[in-house]
Each structure stands twice: as C-alpha cells, then as structure tokens.
C-alpha cells in the first residue's frame, strides 16, 4: 500500500472533524511522517481540486510484484487499456467492495494513481494491491500458474454471467447443472475487462478460458465498464462465499 510521507491539513478541517486530531497526534510522534498545518489558500495551490477537502497526504507509490499480489487471491480484477480515470477508480472501488485480492492495470491503461482516479476510489486504493503497467499475457500465465481461471467480460459472448451464477447456485444446492463448459464461478477467478470504446481485443479475449456477457434486458446498448465490473465481480464473490459456507441464505423482509 502507499507509504505515507507527509500530511497537510487546515485548521478548519480539524474543527469540522475533531476525531482527526488524535490520529494526527499519533502521526506527529513518528519521525518518518512530516505534519504541517496550512491555510486553505496554500492547500488549494497544492491540489488540482476546485474545492479541496482540507487535508492532503503525500505518499510513495507502492511496488507490488505480480506473484505477491496473486499469492492468496481468489478473485482478481484485470483492466486492459482502460483510459478514463473515473472508470478506473470506480472499478478499484467495486473490486475492493467485492473482496477482490488485487486490481491489475495492463500496459496502455490510465494511471490509477492520478488525482481523479484516486478520488474515484473513495479510499479503496489503500485497501488492496493495485498493479500498473502489467503485460497482460504474462500476468494471465502467472495467474494460471496459481490455479486461477480467467474470464473475459465481452458483451457479444454466448455465455452470460447470469448463467454462470445460476449454475453455481444449483451446485451449492446439490443439483448438477446442465452447462456447455467447465468454468465454475465459485473457483478462484481473474476477470478481464477491456477498453471503454473497443472492449477487449481478439488477442486479449483469447487469453481467457471463457468469454462472458452481462445480459442487457432493457434497451441500453451497453454498460459502463465500472458497472459491468461490479456485476461480474459480485457474481463471483457471492458464488465463492456460498461455496465456502455451503449455506444458501434467504431472509424474509418484515413488513
């Protein structure tokens, strides 16, 4: 995770959030973290935000090896040439919420550590390993070496995430589903998501064990990559947790 070097905060921010003061006092006792109170004008000059939040942290970017990120991961999100920083941050946030072990950005992708992407993660950037500039084919080979299956999100695929989720639910209930492939959503999985405009290239799609579509039941032509990633990652997360517990839980809503 990013290593903290310095914190700049305004007096107004401390007055709005008294609880932060105790955390800053603990930081002040550390010799490796520089702490300074500044005016709103100074903080505004240091950031690119129109309305800064009153606190700024200076961090060193983490260096994470692919094999370290894959060591204990059962769910990984890989982005191929995603360009929009808002999308990048949204996917990191969704992956964190779904319990993914890592997020991987391929070569040619946006920098997830740029200011807009960082804000879009809403703090999730600090919760799980995020790798950048990764060569996709070698990453997939490493993932397969760790027994992870690889699924490619593709809007034109024949298989759908709903079908995979239904099959996983039947297996958890002890019923053998009728399927045309051996991919199990509850297995350790890497999900590949492509560029916002072009999606995955043929070569990128061919890296996967199966191409999977998010079905569109309405009139929309497509889904934003952040939305598609959320649907797919949560489908895997639910299937994995259900397989781990062996329990299907249905809660009745009280009136």
Residue 159: pLDDT above 60?
Answer: yes
Residue 137: pLDDT above 80?
Answer: yes
Residue 251: pLDDT above 70?
Answer: no
Task: Output the average pLDDT for the chain.
Answer: 88
- E-strand ranges in 91-146 read 102-106, 130-134
Say which residue, 136 or 57, is predicted with more confidence: 136
pLDDT single digits (tens) 218-238: 998 888 999 999 999 999 999
Nearest residue to 212 (alpha-carbon basis) of 220, 70, 223: 223
**Threshold 0.75, pTM exceeds:** yes
pLDDT single digits (tens) 70-122: 888 999 999 999 999 999 999 999 999 999 999 999 999 999 998 889 989 98
Say which residue, 180 or 75, is predicted with more confidence: 75
Q: What is the DSSP letter of 62?
A: P
Check if the beta carbon of residue 80 is closer than 8 Å to that of residue 105.
Answer: no
pLDDT single digits (tens) 2-14: 677 888 989 888 8
Give CA–CA dist 245/250, Å, rounded.
Answer: 14
C-alpha angle 37/41/44, rounded to 5°? Answer: 95
């Amino acid at each position: 995770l990013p290593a903290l070097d310095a914190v700049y905060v305004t007096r107004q921010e401390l007055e709005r959030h008294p609880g932060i003061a105790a955390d800053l006092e603990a930081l002040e006792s550390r010799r490796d973290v520089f702490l300074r109170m500044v005016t709103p004008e100074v903080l505004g000059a240091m950031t690119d935000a129109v309305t800064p939040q009153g606190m700024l942290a200076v961090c060193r970017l983490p260096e994470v090896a692919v094999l370290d990120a894959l060591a204990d991961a059962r769910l990984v999100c890989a982005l191929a040439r995603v360009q929009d920083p808002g999308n990048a941050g949204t996917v990191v946030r969704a992956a964190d919420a779904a319990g993914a072990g890592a997020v991987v950005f391929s070569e040619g992708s946006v920098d997830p550590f740029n200011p807009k992407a960082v804000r879009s993660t809403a703090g999730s950037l600090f919760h799980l390993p995020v790798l950048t500039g990764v060569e996709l084919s070698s990453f997939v080979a490493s993932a397969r070496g760790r027994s992870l299956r690889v699924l490619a999100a593709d809007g034109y695929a024949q298989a759908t995430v709903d079908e995979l989720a239904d099959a996983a639910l039947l297996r958890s209930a002890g019923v053998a589903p009728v399927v045309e492939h051996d991919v199990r959503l509850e297995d350790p999985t890497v999900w590949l998501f492509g560029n916002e405009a072009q999606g995955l290239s043929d070569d990128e799609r061919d890296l996967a064990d199966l191409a999977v579509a998010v079905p569109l039941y309405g009139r929309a032509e497509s889904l934003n990559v952040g939305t598609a990633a959320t649907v797919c990652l949560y489908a895997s997360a639910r299937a994995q947790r259900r397989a781990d517990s062996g329990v299907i839980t249905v809660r009745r809503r009280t009136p």
